[in-house]
Amino acid sequence: MVMRDGKKKILYLITKSNWGGAQRYVYDLACALPKEQFEVAVVLGGDGALAQRLKEEQMRVITLPLLGRDVHFLNDIKIFFGLVRLLKKESPDIIHLNSAKIGGLGALAGKMAGVKKIIFTAHGWAFNEERGFVSRAIFWLLYAFIIFLCDVVCAVSNNIKTTTPLFFLFKKKIRTTYNGIQKETLLLRQTAEELLFGRTPIGLVIGSIGELHKSKGFKYLIGAVEKLKITFPSIRLVILGEGKERGNLERIIKEKNLADTVTLKGFVDHGARYLKALDVFVLSSTTEAFGYVLLEAGLAEIPIVATKVGGVPEIISQKNLGILVPASSEEALTEGIKKMLEEKEYARLCAINLKKRVVEEFSVDKMRAKTYALYN
């Protein structure tokens, strides 16, 4: 590869600039690359939390105003040719793609612009989400196309790796690289409760963090809370995150008369800092590539109940680390949460064991080392 003053030039590309697992991944990689060895920029759509945090770290950010998750044919054609021009102008040695849309547009644009090395990180497969057959088939073909064009594919879990489209053809270019986490300063429980609820709530608090999206299964979690109120009348549920599903979730909360029980807090910057407010953390997803938020809850030493989907069992790999339940089931979530709330010694043991596993197996340094090795 061509070197610039002894440096390699890398462009990270991601569709959305909100804050989630994929955005955290890009942030953790881009900000820590040795500046004496690499010239780095991040290309993204919008001006959300990721863009703001990168700018705070003095990182170069290139915004594509038309870039968004939804498909708009004419806009996407403009974005594609804009990417080709951008890549020819920037002439990076490596582009590192994240998410399906920018993966497809970026991989093809990279080939047309003559980029020497194209890397794609699969943070999940959209064809595993609740979609119609035609939509799933289109996404499956899109991912196969992306993988064909890329030189290296990073899967965030073994589950993602083995469910890669045409895995038997592409397995030599696919490797598993788990997401990593670094310690974050946590708020004390009383402080976190007061900031979330305006007062210290009486009773038990369960919670979750994630985009308000159908795939997060929050409607099942709300249904479980309705059932749990029979045994735990003062239980509270708080969900940190924003998204298109808010209206539907608000309707469900109203229909179930849970307005005083369930709080949709919206996006909260550095949401993991508030985890000490919870007695149990719940991941209710119907599909989940890895579950970065489980690392955050594990590091905070909060007992976890999670659905057995995607890469989640690769984190909670034993019964003494947390409770796994079937997806899309209010009853299963209810029983799992009830067990964790009632069996306090077991809950405490799970929390201690998972924190130890997260520290030892899922460090951000491990993730960076494995990923940076691909840039050589």
Q: How many whole angstroms from its chain centre is CA 144?
A: 22
C-alpha closest to that of 236 among 256, 209, 217, 259:
259
The upper half-sphere exposure of residue 286, i.e. CA atoms within 13 Å in the direction of its Cβ, equals 19
pLDDT at 207: 97
- CB 180, CB 368: distance < 8 Å: yes
* Proportion of the chain above pLDDT 70, given as a percent: 97
Residue range 344-352: average pLDDT? 98
pLDDT band at 3 (very low <50, low <70, confident <90, very high): very low
Domains and CATH numbers, the chain: 8-177 (3.40.50.2000), 189-361 (3.40.50.2000)
Q: What is the pLDDT of residue 71?
A: 66
Instruction: Determine phi and psi for 12, rounding to 5 degrees.
Output: -90, 135
Please state the rounded mean pLDDT for residues 249-265: 97
Q: Which residue has the higher pLDDT, 98 or 376?
A: 98
- Other CB atoms within a 10 A radius of the CB of residue 294 amount to 27
Is the pLDDT at 2 greater than 70, yes or no? Answer: no
List beta partners, residue 38.
8
pLDDT of residue 357: 97
The pair of structure tokens assigned to 186 is 């946590």
Residues 178, 367: contact at Cβ < 8 Å? yes
Q: Who's near 236: CB < 8 A, 6+ residues apart? A: 197, 201, 203, 204, 205, 206, 261, 262, 263
Q: What is the pLDDT of residues 69-128, one digit of tens each?
A: 666 778 889 999 999 999 999 999 999 999 888 999 999 999 999 999 999 999 988 888
- Note the pLDDT of residue 4: 61
Each residue of 147-190: pLDDT tens digit?
A: 999 999 999 999 999 999 888 889 899 999 999 998 888 999 99
> Chain-wide mean pLDDT for the chain?
93
Q: How far apart are CA 240 and CA 106, in angstroms?
A: 31
pLDDT band, residue 135 (cuts 50/70/90): confident
